[in-house]
Amino acid sequence: MKSVFVFLSISLFFSCMNSQNPSNIPIDNNTQVAVWDTYVTRKDGRVMHFDIIVPSALQDTSIIFSYGREYLRKKGEEGQKLTANECRLCHVRRIWPQWMNDIKTRGYYILELENCD
């Protein structure tokens, strides 16, 4: 029974650590971020335009696209197509302070540009 408790405690510890910074990439004022330009057709036919902003060290598109799908789910647009055709690396730049908290806690920031209501 004690070994089960230790295992669960260790699992909970690592789960909490990952929820604070899912990518485990240090984030500060000098962090370089990648801006992924994203266009998704909404259920009503309009095109949503938003940027998925992640640390530039994160290059796994399956993770980046999952961030976009999570955003779409929150907007009631789950199930809409989001692939390399809809989401592409646009450029790399230094992080803006207003993006930092979301990137530290969730791993990404969404910059809403068009039809994201």
CATH code, domain carrying 19:
3.10.510.10
- The Cα–Cα gap between 45 and 58 comes to 31
Average pLDDT (85-103) is 95
Average pLDDT (99-107) is 93
Read off the tokens for 86. 């809809």
Q: 38-50, pLDDT tens digit by residue?
A: 999 999 999 999 9
Q: 54-63, pLDDT tens digit by residue?
A: 999 999 999 9
Q: How many domains does the structure of the chain reveal?
A: 1
- The Cα–Cα gap between 53 and 95 comes to 9
What kind and span of H or E run contains 34? strand 32-41
- The Cα–Cα gap between 29 and 27 comes to 7
Domain that holds residue 108: 2-114
Is residue 35 within 8 A of residue 94, CB to CB? The reply is no
CB under 8 Å to 78, separation ≥6 — which residues? 69, 72
